Amino acid sequence: MKKSPVKAYKNPARDTRIATKEDVIAIVAFGCFAILLLVVLAVYTRFANLYTGIGVLAAYLLLLTLWAARRMKVDPIMLDNSMLGLLTSPLGELIGKLHSPALICDEYGNLCWYNAELAPWLEGKGAALGSSISSLFNVDEEQHRLTVNDRVYSYDAVGTECEGRRYVLIVLKDVTDLVGLEEKYDKERVVVAFVSLDNIEEVIQNVHENLRDAVADVDEKLRHWVDKVGGIIKSYDNDKYILFFDSADLDE
């Protein structure tokens, strides 16, 4: 049996204005409590029954108003007809089979829907539908990557349109290990450098002894640096060197 993405995943944008069974039970419980309170006040207090009834009724109406106000709070973006149409389309059936994190945003980059793979992280952040995805994720648009819970994901985006509204489906792929290997490769990649001291033989023959010492000092410092970074240095033709070291040491 095919799993519908509408039923398979929790919809954080359900319309809370529709009364549920729990709502009806709560309203009846409020009513019973109000009647009981009215009886108690009428029997055990000196207040006139009329005033007691008015007070209890006012309290009951206030509770109902507060409850209704809470129930009327809905997310700015709900699964409207166009979104439902998208999720029940062939593309929606494909979304329902995905085991990778996926989300749908509108053409302005606002979050419209996400699947169960992303739900724990987004709900843990208190993310609401309608939020800009750039505010929820650290997005690298150049590399087509974003970060979720210290994990790096590449993403593919597919544009679609349903009932006159444009949406973008974004599917994530965990590339954390690959990124780690890339960084390790970049740091450990061998660099080959050629160093040449121009006219060194002519300098040694014609300059003052102090300058000769300076040239020797350059040679010593060069060898010391290569030894410090664990590289290899080879000299040839008296005034030329070839160096091998990791690219991570270029900034040293």
Q: Which CATH number fits the domain that encloses residue 95?
A: 3.30.450.20
Clarify whether residues 119 and 65 are in a common domain: no
CATH number at residue 209: 3.30.70.1230
* 5 domain-assigned: no
Q: Please state whether the predicted TM-score (pTM) of the whole model is above 0.75.
A: no
Clarify whether residues 157 and 233 are in a common domain: no
Question: Which of 180, 203, 229 represents a domain boundary (last residue)?
Answer: 180
pLDDT of 76 strictly over 70: no
pLDDT of 110 strictly over 70: yes
Clarify whether residues 141 and 200 are in a common domain: no
Which range of 22-31, 122-131, 216-225 scores highest in mean pLDDT? It is 216-225
pLDDT of 171 strictly over 70: yes
Sign of the dihedral through C-alpha 108, 113, 117, 123: positive
Clarify whether residues 124 and 98 are in a common domain: yes
Clarify whether residues 89 and 159 are in a common domain: yes
* 76 domain-assigned: no
Clarify whether residues 132 and 174 are in a common domain: yes
How many independent structural domains does the chain possess? 3
Question: Which of 180, 204, 239 represents a domain boundary (last residue)?
Answer: 180
- For 220, the domain range is 189-251
| H runs (alpha helix) in 105-246 | 119-124, 133-136, 176-188, 200-206, 209-228
Clarify whether residues 144 and 85 are in a common domain: yes
User: How much is the pLDDT for 198?
Assistant: 67
Four-point Cα dihedral 49, 50, 52, 57, nearest 10: 130
